[in-house]
Amino acid sequence: MRILFVLSASIWAWLVARCIAFGPKSQAICWSPNMHADTWYRLTHIPYKIPHTLFKYIPIFIAFTSIPILYIDNDIIHVACVLILVAEHAFIPIFVAHLHSETIITIWAFVNVSLCALLFYLTMYYAWVVCIVLKMILHAWLCYMQFFIITKSPIVTEIEYQERVPRIV
């Protein structure tokens, strides 16, 4: 019976987070991070970048690292984990698509790190603390990215448009 609770909490958190990020649209459910060549992440020189192809696996990583914590038989930990899971799942699309200002996204990243630290404090006597530490490392890296973008404004240059000219044969 516990597995049904874990699966339903994970799916519910993912759906609610997508609705928070994009609104209640069918496109929100099917959205997948696509870092094509002219996105801010690929055009900005940032040290210690992870490969852009890994961004589509971050929500899966977050969901799988939350499963062991949801198995702990404690109501306070369940509520905290589900709320943190919603915040984490809503942050990833907003980070990729940059739907809000840099300051709001940075504050949200810092809040996610703080919430993971709180969850670490609540579950530090359990064996599943490693999952929370991995999530904290991921959110600390995302927070670092946002601080870097705020302090060093991203240098993104567009190529100047050139008119087409006919070829001379």
Q: What is the pTM of this model?
A: 0.79
Rounded to whole angstroms, the Cα distance separating 120 from 33 reads 28
Alpha-carbon distance 1 to 14, whole Å? 20
Averaged confidence pLDDT in the chain: 83
Decide if pLDDT at 141 tops 70: yes
Report the candidate in 71, 79, 82 with the shortest Cα–Cα distance to residue 1.
71
Question: pLDDT per residue over 15-47, tens digit each?
Answer: 898 888 888 877 777 777 777 777 777 777 778
pLDDT for 114: 92
Residue 156 reports pLDDT greater than 70: no
User: Of all residues in the chain, what percent are helix, strand and coil, respectively (each to 5)?
Assistant: 70, 0, 30
SS3 of 9-58 = HHHHHHHHHHHHHHCCCHHHHHCCCCCCCCCHHHHCCCCCCCCHHHHHHH
Distance in angstroms (rounded) separating the CA atoms of residues 81 and 46: 31
Rounded to the nearest 10°, the torsion over CA 113, 119, 123, 124 is 30
Please report where in the chains the tokens 């459910």 appear, as a residue: 29
Inform me whether the pLDDT recorded for 157 exceeds 60: no
Cβ-based neighbours of 155, under 8 Å, separated by 6 or more: 44, 45
